[in-house]
Structure formats: structure tokens, C-alpha cells
Amino acid sequence: MAKKLWEKNTTVNPEIERFTVGRDRELDLMLARYDVIGSIAHSTMLQSIGMLTKEEMDSLHSELRNIYSTIEKGEFVIEDGVEDVHSQVELMLTRRLGDTGKKIHSGRSRNDQVLVDLKLFARHELQEVCTAVKELFDALIEQSEKHKEVLLPGYTHLQVAMPSSFGLWFGAYAESLADDMLFLQAAYRMCNRNPLGSAAGYGSSFPLDRTMTTRLLGFDTMNYNVVYAQMGRGKSERNIAHALATVAGTLAKFAFDACMFNSQNFGFVKLPAECTTGSSIMPHKKNPDVFELIRAKCNRMQALPNDILLIMNNLPSGYFRDLQIIKELFLPAFAELKECIRMVTYTVERIEVNSTVINDSRYDAMFSVEEVNRLSAEGMPFRDAYKKVGLDIEAGTFVPDKKVHHTHEGSIGNLCNKEITALMESIYSSIDFEKANTAEQALLGK
Ligand code: ARG
């Protein structure tokens, strides 16, 4: 049996074949379960429009569910000579069901198959990313609350500037994640539209019921215009990558802070020994490699939207094989980001805080503004108070009062963690993951 769906009466040069297939046989494994789910929905719809008998649909469903459990067991392979996951699934159906297997491709193309696979894959992965982000958020808020009384030097230009606190430091990254969640929400919603039925990018002369597949697959709506559905390839990956990149940006910045604060020269935090690594030559070392790797990976991930953009930027509408290459960058990004988020969460939950940082006199000057403000509140004009304190510091006579009185919203004494949490909750809880999960389970007969 020919293993290429499109093979007719000529054979392709093996080198050309190897080059065009590229890494699809490896990467498409990540799409396999979604290819099966998409095929269950498509065949249900084909039966409803009279293109398959009830018996044919039932046998396709039962074979597709068998294939799904092979995938779940990690036993699914794309055989030698088979181009991609779409061909492999069709080949398996045809081997087992003969002509019935050959009918499943009516009214679709691998172009809309891969589109729907990517959407279902990204939808699932985004759900996991959102959950991981929410867990990290909770850990940060917990640490912020726990250490809200502990002061920390704040820096501008990396020069000691003003009092900050661990409450502010942890809470800042939590609020950053609340903003990142907005991008994830937008990415999820944009992703949750059905491209199936666009076929090669121009629809089909069969009376496909796209409303039905949209409902069966748990999509919010369809990508209505078939040309736009195909044009969304690359665009949706780039937009989703943008959401991943913004989370990565938060993690990378936190990782830099954590490495720096963990250095002996700062000594603000200490990573527990189990989160550090040693040196082959220096017996005393406990290095923050975890955060260095997170920083590098997350910095690289911020280039992802741009990398995708550079591949698809100058393509006109319609399908091109260029789009295949985006999978190489896009598919592995989720696992990478999820791992980084989990690593940060694990360490944040265990990081030790130095509660006596500000006893060190090298940080005395950061209380200068507190003193200026105290004098101003007593009636001395701000500029005069500023000058007096400045001269006291120069003369070495400045005695800091290390009790700070910051009360406005978002400051040391009023972190607004409740409000930040409400913000996060309102975004996170508005993403309807259940709809997708329920629809997929129903298609799988679970
Ligand atoms: N591997 C292909 C991709 O990712 C699947 C679609 C193939 N379509 C085609 N017209 N050659 O784009």
C-alpha cells in the first residue's frame, strides 16, 4: 500500500522527500491525539450530511478511539515512509477498515487538519500554562503576605535608593502575572475558533456542517471565512507565542533578581540547598543554576513571536509549506515554559528571606527620603528639608529612623494583595476551560 496520500504514478526523489518531511514525523507526535479528536468530529459531521452511513461512522469512531488509546499509552508511531500524523492516522484507518477508512478525508485537507490540530493542542497547553501561572501567582502572594513586614533596599540605577519590602518584591511579580494572564486569556479566546471545513483554504463543495464541528469540538465560534481560517496559520501561533513570551519576561526578570539577591554581596534571600548546585573545584559553592537556566530559557522565549513572525511575515494568503517550520519553534515552547514556571514556583515556596537586611548600615541612606518627608510634614518646605538631610548625610551626622510609614495603595504598608488577587481571579475564572474539556471527552466517548 502506498504510504503517501498523494502518490499517483511517479515517485519522489528520496532526498527531496527527506527534506520536505523534515522533522514532521517527530513533531507531529505532539499533535496525534488532537488529529484523532478532529477526525472523530469530522466523521460525525460527514455522517450527519449523508457522506457516511451510521455503521461506517461507528466503525471509524471505534478505530479512532483505539488509536487514541495507543497514543495515550505512548505506543503510537509514525512509520517509516509515512509523511506526517495525518497520513499515519488515515493509513491505520484504511488498513483496519478498508474503503470506510478511505472516506474520512472527504471535505477536508491536511491544511485544515493541521490547523485544527494546532488549535486543539494550543488550547490544551494554554490551559496548563494558565494553571501553572495561577499556582505561581498564589505562591508569590503567600510569600508577599508572610514577609510584608520585612524591609528590603530598593534600587534605582542599582544604587541604594528607598526602602522596599519583601511584601512588595514578591507582590510585584504576582501583579505582573495578572497582566500576563490577560494575554493568555486573549490567546485562548483567539485560539478557540474552529478552522475545520476550510479544507485546503477555500472550503468545499460538500455541504459541510461547520456549526456542528464547532460545537462538537467545544470551540466558541468558527473562523468563519475559509481564507481567513487558513491565514490564521502562523498568526495564531505568533499571538499565542506573544502570551507565552510575556510570562517568560516576568520569569526572566524574577530569576535575575533572585540570582542577585542570593549572592553573598546582597544576601537578601537564600535558596535552600536542595535548589542549588555545586562546583567541581570550589567546595563551598551553592550556585543558583536553576534561576540562571530559567533566565536564559525565558530570555530566549521572548524571541519566539519574532522568530515566528520572520517565517510568516512575507507570505501572501493561502497555504505554504513555510508554515510547517513554525511547528519546530512553537510546539516545544509550551513544555519549556511550563517547566520554568514550575521551577520558579517550587523555589519561591522554599526561598528563605533575610529578615535583618536593613540592620546593615550600608543601607542607612535609603531612609533619607523618609526623613525629608517627616520634616516637610512638620512644616519645613520640601526643598529646605531635602538640603538639610543631604548635608547631614555628607557630614556623616544623619541618623536614620528605620520605621517607615507608607500607607497609600500599593505601598509597603498597604500592598493591596487582595485587590491584585481579585484582578487575577477575575481574568483566570473567565476562561472557560471546561467547555473544551467536556467536548473532547464526549468525542472520545469518555
Ligand atoms: N506538514 C504539513 C504542515 O505542517 C501538513 C500540511 C501539508 N499540506 C500540504 N499542502 N503539503 O504544514
| Adjacent-strand bridge partners of 277 | 287
Would you say 133 and 247 are in contact if contact means Cβ atoms under 8 Å apart?
yes
**Over its length of 446 residues, how does the chain's per-residue pLDDT go in tens digits?**
456 777 777 888 899 999 999 999 999 999 999 999 999 999 999 999 999 999 999 999 999 999 999 999 999 999 999 999 999 999 999 999 999 999 999 999 999 999 999 999 999 999 999 999 999 999 999 999 999 999 999 999 999 999 999 999 999 999 999 999 999 999 999 999 999 999 999 999 999 999 999 999 999 999 999 999 999 999 999 999 999 999 999 999 999 999 999 999 999 999 988 878 888 888 888 888 999 999 999 999 999 999 999 999 999 999 999 999 999 999 999 999 999 999 999 999 999 999 999 999 999 999 999 999 999 999 999 999 999 999 999 999 999 999 999 999 999 999 999 999 999 999 999 999 999 999 999 999 98
Q: Are 144 and 254 in contact (CB under 8 A)?
A: no
| All three cell numbers of 312 | 510568516
Q: Is 109 in the pocket of ligand 1 (CB under 6 A)?
A: no
Report whether residue 319 contacts ligand 1, using a CB cutoff of 6 Å.
yes
Please name the amino acid found at residue 302: Q
C-alpha distances in Å from residue 202, one per residue of 214, 289, 320: 18, 51, 14
| 87 C-beta closer than 6 A to ligand 1 | no
- Whole-angstrom distance, CA of residue 258 vs CA of residue 262: 6
Q: Which is the closest atom of ligand 1 to the Cα of 200?
A: 10
Cβ(323) – ligand 1 distance below 6 Å: yes
Give me ligand 1 centre to Cα 64, in Å. 21
Helix (H, G, I), strand (E, B), or coil: what is residue 161? Answer: strand
Three-state DSSP class for residue 154: strand
| Sequential DSSP letters for 292-306 | HHHHHHHHHHTTHHH
Residue 431 Cβ contacting ligand 1 at under 6 Å: no
Q: Which of 408, 443, 310, 373 is nearest to 43 (CA)?
A: 443
- 3 state DSSP class of 190: helix
Domains of the chain, CATH where assigned: 14-105 (1.10.275.10), 110-155+163-359+415-425 (1.20.200.10)
Taken in order 46, 48, 49, 52, the sign of the CA dihedral is: positive
Nearest Cα to 260, choosing from 268, 249, 248, 252?
268
- Cβ–ligand 1 distance for 111 under 6 Å, the answer yes
What atom of ligand 1 comes closest to residue 86's alpha carbon? Answer: 5
What's the confidence (pLDDT) of residue 299? 98
* Distance separating alpha carbons of residues 195 and 121, to the nearest angstrom: 13
Cβ–ligand 1 contact at 76 (below 6 Å) = no
* pLDDT in the model for residue 321: 97
Instruction: Decide: helix, strand or coil at residue 401.
Output: coil
Report d(CA 110, CA 116) in Å as an integer. Answer: 10
Ligand 1 pocket test: pick from 17, 111, 118 the residue with the most ligand atoms within 8 Å of its Cβ. 111
**Taking Cα atoms as reference points, which of 127, 128, 122, 129 lies closest to residue 195?**
122
3-state secondary structure of 89: helix
Give the span between the Cα atoms of 194 and 214, in whole angstroms.
Answer: 6
Task: From 86, 42, 90, 29, select the one nearest 63 (Cα to Cα).
Answer: 90
Q: How far is the CA of 321 from the centre of ligand 1 (A)?
A: 6
Between the CA of 200 and the centroid of ligand 1 the distance, in Å, is: 10
Ligand 1 pocket test, pick from 16, 109, 321 with the greatest ligand atom count within 8 Å of Cβ, gives 321
Q: For the chain, what is the total number of helices (H) and then of strands (E)?
A: 17, 6
Ligand 1 and 24: CB distance under 6 A:
yes
Please tell me if the CB atom of residue 84 comes closer than 6 angstroms to any atom of ligand 1. Answer: yes
User: Which one of 324, 325, 327, 330 would you pick to mutate in the ligand 1 pocket, going by the greatest count of ligand atoms within 8 A of its CB?
Assistant: 324
Pairing of strands 159-165, 352-353: unpaired
* Cα–Cα distance measured from residue 133 to residue 375, given in angstroms and rounded to the nearest whole number: 44
- What is the position in ligand 1's atom list of the atom closest to the CA of 319? 10
Assess whether the C-beta atom of 324 lies below 6 angstroms from ligand 1: yes
The residue whose CA is least distant from atom 2 of ligand 1 is: 324
Residue 200, Cβ density class (10 Å: 0-12 exposed, 13-18 middle, ≥19 buried):
middle
The alpha carbon of 110 and the centre of ligand 1 are apart by a number of angstroms equal to: 6
Say what the pTM is: 0.95
Cell of 233: 496559520
Length of the chain: 446
Q: Is 25 in the pocket of ligand 1 (CB under 6 A)?
A: no
Distances (CA, A) of 189 to 119, 401, 430: 11, 51, 11
